[in-house]
Amino acid sequence: MSTYTKAASFVLDTLWEDDDFRDYFYNLDAELADLGPLTQIVFEPAYLALKAGLDDTALQMLEAQVTTDLLTPLYRRPGFREMWEQWDSQTRQDFIDEQSELQLAKLLIQVYDRQLDAAYRAAYASYLAQQETRHKK
């Protein structure tokens, strides 16, 4: 599962806690278990589109702060520094990217919950329309 897929999945799980959001999908005969496998093809693009629409400078500053906030306490943990030193640069980067994106998703859902809700609903509606078109062919 990619870094962005994990973040999009976190957003989906968080939005699912809202009764209105959940009822929208229930009305379409969809359960969370049905949506999970669609995260990469339906909800990840919606998550990335929302991010792409944000101010680049503010987003970069937020991403840098999230990375600092994430690594500082970890680096103080016994054993983490040694483990970090043993990792190659790609492993370090992958770790930072994945953990930072998840933390960023947590912040985005706090600030842009309505926009993410709308984006996820629209993405699923578009997916259903595409599926219906395919079945008619």
User: If you average pLDDT over residues 93-105, what whole number do you get?
Assistant: 89
Task: Describe the chain by its helix, strand, coil percentages, rounded to 5.
Answer: 85, 0, 15
User: If you average pLDDT over residues 97-116, what whole number do you get?
Assistant: 91
For helices 44-52 and 3-16, what crossing angle results, to 10°?
A: 100
- Nearest alpha carbon to residue 118 among 27, 2, 17, 20: 20
Q: What is this structure's pTM?
A: 0.85
Query: What is the percentage of the chain residues whose pLDDT exceeds 90?
Result: 58
For helices 113-136 and 89-111, what crossing angle results, to 10°?
A: 100
Residue 68's pLDDT is 83
Judged against a pLDDT cut of 70, whether residue 137 lies above it is answered with: no
* Cβ atoms of residues 11 and 109 within 8 Å: yes
3-class state of residue 47 by DSSP: helix
What is residue 8's DSSP assignment? H
